[in-house]
Amino acid sequence: MLVLALDTATPAVTAGVVELTGADVALRSARVERDARKHAELLMPGVQGACADAGVTLRDLDAVVVGAGPGPFTGLRVGMVTAAALGDGLGLPVYGVCSLDAIAVCAAAEPLAGPLLVVTDARRREVYWAAYDATGRRTEGPHVSSPAVAAERGAGLGAVASAGDLAGSVGLPVLPQQSPSPAGLVAVAAEVLRSGAEPGPLEPLYLRRPDAAPPGERKRVTA
């Protein structure tokens, strides 16, 4: 099974082709560009480049996996809308996965001595974070909070390391995984992909209410 994996939940614009077999998740190609302001400009060229590098076309794909966040609204929706459009246009199932889970899967590929925190930039001096056991299984979150709150909660859970693009903000030893990889995204979805189950609704994990709000009722002006 050939799977296209996309993620725009972090400053990294990620696209890759992954081959999923009965036992393995094998990366065929990956294109990653880091620019938090150019998700829309960089993603489709990345998709096309990843397919070319893997020696396949979009018509050769069997499924799409996309990181559903948490992430800032503008960047995150680029990946999710692109994945939905590709799925619709090519007749492919599209599976959304937690982007933090994909980072954790790769971080836990090497044995860990204890729990892990995955921490990414939520802007406004806050972070998105989730906690995982030593095997990369999520045990808490995802949440959005200040780095101090994430650090305090991580200490309470006995976390021994952190990963993600703001891993250094919580005072733990930092692992190299900063953003979701194509192989990590597919690994998170591997069980459901192998089962052939229909994907659930494609819902983004914003964790915040939108800044914009419908206008309220006009105030009455009296003379």
The mean predicted confidence, pLDDT, of the chain is: 93
- What CA–CA distance (Å, rounded) separates 211 from 69? 18
User: What are the tens digits of pLDDT across the range 29-68?
Assistant: 999 999 989 999 999 999 999 999 999 999 999 999 999 9
- C-alpha separations of 188 from 16, 57, 184 in Å: 15, 24, 6
20 forms beta bridges with: 25
Task: Assess if residue 216 is contained within a domain.
Answer: no
- Give the residue numbers spanning the domain of 159: 100-170
Question: What is the band of 211 on the pLDDT scale with cuts at 50, 70, 90?
Answer: very low
pLDDT in tens, 10-37: 999 999 999 999 889 999 999 999 998 9
Considering the domain architecture, whether residues 16 and 87 belong to the same structural domain is answered as yes
**Cis amide leading into 199 (omega within 30):** no
Smallest CA-to-CA distance from 161 within 111, 91, 195 is with 111
Say which residue, 126 or 216, is predicted with more confidence.
126
Answer yes or no: do 63 and 131 share one domain. no
Q: Are residues 120 and 26 in the same domain?
A: no
Total tally of structural domains belonging to the chain: 2
> By the 8 A CB rule, do 190 and 135 touch?
no
pLDDT tens digits, residue range 119-156?
A: 999 999 999 999 999 999 999 999 999 999 999 999 99
CB distance 14 to 73 below 8 Å: no
User: Domain with 131 in it: what CATH number?
Assistant: 3.30.420.200
Q: Distance between CA 130 and CA 143 in Å, rounded?
A: 6
At residue 213, does pLDDT exceed 50? no
Same domain, 16 and 77: yes
Task: Say yes or no: 13 and 53 in one domain.
Answer: yes
Residues 56 and 114 both lie in one domain: no
Chain centre to alpha carbon of residue 217: 38
Residues 32, 132 within the same domain? no
Alpha-carbon distance of 88 to 36, in angstroms, equals 26
To which H or E segment does residue 67 belong? strand 63-67
What CATH number corresponds to the domain at position 72? 3.30.420.40
Instruction: Measure the CA–CA gap between 143 and 6, rounded to whole angstroms.
Output: 22
